[in-house]
């Protein structure tokens, strides 16, 4: 198991419903990362913005955007993640893709569609979580509105060695500025209650619906302390998370051992 895992967070404005412009811009930003990094995180619906027009912009898993992710991950020898509009079996999904350097991938379909913006009318909800593994680190992958539902993120102690399910809880988002207090508060709460690192990557700027985004991308440690936060401006930030710190917190404060037993179905 590696003691560190390095993430690069890309907080950026997006071109509204312009896939080619977004892919070009994001490729330039990824290429600008000088530090050695292992996982690069993009916002929710990074190729279009948070659009309710999947019939016009969704692609299959063999489409240009997924192929672009394969190319970038392979060329840069990184894991690349973010969500896209995906069409599959006549349904549309807000799908987070976890693209490996060898072009293999996992994916997570957003469980909680944002009914306030009618996302539930255009996209099909997912029905299973994805907890992936990198060099001995376990990462729970979720999307934006999922943040409001703590049961969906809650650690389950199912390991025979009584270990938590995951070490990092990661959210990609298009979370509006007018509700940024909820965003920042809930990210912090998820870190404290699950005794894990939490990473939230949000966009900035204004979308085609005149909705403003302040970013407020954050990294929070298992004690609920903010390690990184950036409001309003575009930013690329690279950090190495420390497994030793995570284990020290869990050993010193074994609160998860007192948690309620339950199963997510």
Residue-wise pLDDT for 131-154, tens only, equals: 999 999 999 999 999 999 999 999
Superfamily of domain 4-258: Carbon-nitrogen hydrolase (3.60.110.10)
State the pLDDT at residue 157. Answer: 73
Domain range annotation of the chain: 4-258
Q: Which of 44, 65, 119, 196 is catalytic?
A: 44
34 is a catalytic site residue: no
Strand partners, 97: 82, 107
SS3 114: coil
- DSSP helix, strand, coil percent of the chain (3-state; round to 5): 30, 30, 40
Q: Distance between CA atoms of 204 and 99, rounded to whole angstroms?
A: 24
Cα–Cα–Cα angle for 15, 18, 21, nearest 5°?
Answer: 70
Say what the pLDDT of residue 192 is: 98
The pLDDT of residue 163 = 85
Examine the residue annotation and report whether 160 is marked as an active-site residue of this protein: no
Tell me the C-alpha to C-alpha distance, in Å, between residue 250 and each of 73, 150, 190, 240: 33, 19, 15, 19
Residues of the chain with pLDDT under 50: none
Q: What is the pLDDT of residue 264?
A: 80
Instruction: Note the pLDDT of residue 263.
Output: 81
Burial of 228 (0-12, 13-18, 19+ CB in 10 A): middle
Average pLDDT in the chain: 96
Predicted confidence at residue 2, as pLDDT, reads 82
Q: Give me the pLDDT at residue 43, please.
A: 98
CA gap 35, 6 in Å, rounded: 10
The whole-number pLDDT of residue 262 equals 81
Considering 113, 144, 184, 196, which one is annotated as catalytic? 144
Q: Residue 182: its pLDDT value, please? A: 98
Catalytic residue among 19, 65, 70, 110: 110
> Could you tell me which residues come within 8 angstroms of residue 24 by beta carbon, excluding any fewer than 6 positions away?
none
Does residue 44 have an active-site annotation? yes
34 Cα distance to chain centroid:
22
| Start-end of H helices in the chain | 19-31, 54-57, 64-76, 119-122, 150-153, 180-194, 243-252
């Amino acid at each position: 198991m590696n003691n560190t895992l390095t993430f690069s967070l890309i907080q950026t404005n997006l071109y509204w419903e312009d896939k080619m412009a977004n892919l070009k811009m994001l490729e330039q930003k990824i290429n600008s990362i000088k530090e050695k990094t292992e996982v690069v995180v993009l916002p929710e619906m990074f190729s279009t913005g948070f659009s309710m027009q999947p019939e016009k912009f969704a692609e299959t898993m063999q489409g240009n955007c997924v192929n672009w992710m394969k190319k970038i991950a392979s060329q840069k020898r990184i894991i690349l993640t973010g969500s896209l509009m995906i069409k599959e079996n006549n349904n549309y999904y807000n799908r987070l893709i976890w693209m490996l350097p060898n072009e293999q991938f996992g994916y997570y379909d957003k469980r909680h569609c944002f009914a306030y913006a009618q996302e539930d009318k255009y996209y099909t909800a997912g029905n299973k979580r994805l907890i992936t593994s990198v060099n001995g680190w376990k990462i729970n992958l979720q999307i934006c509105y999922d943040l409001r539902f703590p049961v969906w993120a809650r650690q389950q102690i199912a390991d025979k060695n009584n270990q938590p399910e995951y070490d990092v809880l990661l959210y990609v988002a298009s979370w509006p500025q007018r509700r940024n207090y909820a965003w920042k508060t809930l990210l912090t709460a998820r870190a404290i209650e699950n005794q894990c690192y939490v990473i939230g990557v949000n966009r900035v700027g204004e979308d085609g619906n005149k909705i403003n985004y302040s970013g407020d991308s954050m990294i929070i440690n298992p004690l609920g302390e903010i390690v990184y936060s950036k409001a309003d401006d575009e930013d690329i930030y690279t950090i190495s998370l420390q497994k030793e710190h995570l284990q020290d917190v869990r050993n010193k404060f074994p609160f998860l051992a007192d948690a309620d037993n339950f199963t997510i179905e």
